Amino acid sequence: MLIYRFLSGEDDSAFCHKVTKALSEGWELYGSPTYAYDAVSKKMRCGQAVTRIVREQPYDPDKKLVDY
């Protein structure tokens, strides 16, 4: 089963660490990163989709994706 997560945050080193941690846990980058200006906080925000293949099992929307 393929599971999908979208990581987002302020465009800073903390976001890079979040993506790096996901990669170290077996997630793979999916597509290109995205960037958008947040007019309220006056900061750039970024996002990156990641996917991971896990053993076949019933999908449970109440289960955290990192627990698959």
Q: What is the pLDDT of residue 68?
A: 83
pLDDT in tens, 41-60: 999 999 999 999 999 999 99
This prediction has a pTM of 0.84
Tokens of 35: 């960037």
Quote the CA–CA distance of 42 and 62 in Å, as a whole number: 34
Please give the DSSP secondary-structure letter assigned to residue 12: S
The amino acid present at 1, given as its one-letter code, is M
Q: What is the pLDDT of residue 39?
A: 95
